[in-house]
Chains A and B, each alone.
Chain A
Amino acid sequence: MRPGFLLGEIGNGLRRNVSMVVSVVLVTMVSLFFLGIGLLAQQQVSTAKGYWYDRVQVSIFLCTPDSTDVASCAGGAVTQDQRDQIAADLEGLDPLVAEVYYESNADAYERFREQFRNSPVLDSIPQEAIPESFRVNLSDPSRYEVIRQAFEQAPGVESVEDQREVVDKLFTFLGVLSVGALALAVAMVACAVLLISTTIRLTAWSRRRETAIQRMVGASAFSIYLPFILETVLATLLGAGLAIALLWGTVRFGITGFLSELLAGESGLISLVGERDLWLITPFLVGGALLLAVLTAWTALRRHVRV
């Protein structure tokens, strides 16, 4: 089959089934968009984990005059000796303890006032109620338990908290979002497969005379199938192109533009997925869509077109 004739056959096929072709384009676009969102959300979790885990600290809060209900704070506020002992013990845990930062009561109160500047209860909290603390960066954040066991019951220590527990809740939320998007994508991909199969069936029916003649005069199965497959590939490519454009718009204007600026203004510490992450998944999205389209078309053709 010569290229000119093949293009003509493809053009005829697309014209005859324009509504079905548009459906394939749209369903492919929506399914790939959700697949892309799911993959980007997973990428976001992974990026944010790496970013935050490098920054999150284990906080060793020291006793305040009010924390006498904790056994290790029975003597009231932490003493200078207890403070020195804790600092020495932390030094002894090198290399697990990579860095130690001491936050005094005054610093902690200042940070508290900044964080809760709009809260009506701000003035009712006295400075003594805000605990001083040691902020500890670990060389291996997963070994938080070592610090907890070493300091939880130590004299002068009110509590030991791992900030990872807080950010993990955020990651779990993002993870659920990404799984939801991927589940939706799987459902949409199933729709795309069924729609391609139905489109092939209808196209084959509308072109049954042509295919019967092709078969009768000795065209090979491959050359009979080829226009159908290329039509499906074209529609899928168009859908994939639109999905990538939509994802790019979402990343460019929604995440890099709007969300990134919004969050950066709040915390100053944020790392979001960007266009580079989109370009990384693009070959897999397009390649996967093409592979699925060709396989679905080939299977449907074997079922609905006699050769």
Chain B
Amino acid sequence: MITLEHVSLRYTKGDPWALQDVDLDVTRGEFCFVVGQSGSGKSSLLRLVIVENAPTLGRVLVAGHDLGQLPRRRVHVLRCQIGTVFQDFRLLSGKTVSQNVAYVLQVLGAPGHEIRQRVPETLALVGLENKGKRLPHELSGGEQQRVAIARAMVNKPPILLADEPTGNLDPDTSAEIVAILERINRSGTTVLMATHDTTIVDQFRKRVVQLHEGRVVRDQAEGGYREVVRS
């Protein structure tokens, strides 16, 4: 579903490499943590997948698209297949929870009856079925992140990218958020989550790809974060 072949990335000529010779293959339906210290290249890797940046060297394939061959005007077609969640939620403060989620479908031109059906369904998926009329500032951080997840999933994309989604949350709420991501993953969605949350990685025991100075230094099935520290 997501393949990186000998991918290197440098933002500006002369700068250090953000990613160096990265090989990675995330298959359909997999849940994968990308771990590493700040500046290790986790976010850079995710940015390549959503075509925010192009690799300096190597090849990136996402959902059957070779991103090097994808014309600029077709990038939006790929992005429709990727849901994205960020650490800072990025909700529209003037819109209610339901409106935030519906916004995606409206932007993509979905008919009204589809919006009216899918929004409550997706809010139920993240446990917010009774909070559709609340504004973002009336919700806790964990609830706001759930809204962000609902917004990312309302279009039913086959891939979900999460960039430090628990970075602003307490440990219990973080576990709830990752539990939601795991539930989404069990329904067939490929999840790639960048994190440096030790507890979460240790608790959920998923595939772990560790980056250090832009290189993959470990790729372990059902790994934990402690091995990262020891390696």
Contact = CB atoms under 8 A, between A and B. Distances in A.
Interface of A: 1-2, 5, 209-210, 212-221, 223, 307
Interface of B: 50, 73, 76-84, 90, 92, 103-104, 106-109, 111-112, 151, 155
A264 to B, nearest CB: 61
B106 A217 contact: no
11 contacts: A1-B109, A2-B109, A5-B106, A212-B90, A213-B92, A217-B83, A217-B104, A217-B107, A218-B80, A218-B81, A221-B73
Contacts of B78: 218
A1 B90 contact: no
Given A1-B106, A2-B111, A213-B107, A218 B76 contact: yes
Contacts of B83: 217
A165 B106 CA distance: 69
Chain B CB count within 10 A is highest, among A1, A2, A212, for A2
A1 B107 contact: yes
Closest 4 CB pairs of A and B: A218-B80, A218-B79, A5-B106, A217-B104
Nearest to A209: B92
Given A218-B77, A219-B108, A221-B73, 15 more contacts: A2-B109, A2-B111, A5-B107, A209-B90, A209-B92, A213-B92, A213-B151, A214-B107, A217-B79, A217-B83, A217-B108, A217-B151, A218-B76, A218-B78, A218-B81
A212 B76 CA distance: 12
Contacts of A210: 92, 103
Contact of A223 (B77, B79, B103, B107): B107
B90 A2 contact: no
Contacts of A220: 73, 76
A219 B50 CA distance: 13
A116 to B, nearest CB: 77
Contacts, number: 54
Q: Give the residue among A217, A220, A223 with the most B Cβ atoms within 10 A.
A: A217
Contacts of B92: 209-210, 213
A218 B108 contact: yes
B108 to A, nearest CB: 7
Nearest to A223: B107
Q: Which of A2, A5, A214, A216 is packed against the most chain B CB atoms within 10 Å?
A: A216
Contacts of A214: 107
Nearest to B155: A217
B106 A213 contact: no
A219 B78 CA distance: 10
Contacts of A218: 76-82, 108, 155
Contacts of B90: 209, 212-213
Contact of B79 (A1, A5, A215): A215
Query: Which of A1, A5, A215, A223 gathers the greatest number of chain B CB atoms within 10 Å?
Result: A5
Nearest to A210: B92
Most buried by A among B77, B79, B103, B107: B107
B107 A219 contact: yes
A1 B107 CA distance: 5
A5 B83 CA distance: 22
Nearest to B72: A221
Nearest to B154: A217
A32 to B, nearest CB: 34
A87 B80 CA distance: 91
Nearest to B104: A217
Contact of A2 (B50, B73, B103, B106): B106
A213 B79 contact: no
A219 B151 CA distance: 14
Contacts of A219: 76, 107-108
B111 A213 contact: no
A216 B81 CA distance: 10
A218 B83 CA distance: 9
Nearest to A12: B94
B94 to A, nearest CB: 9
Contacts of A215: 76, 79
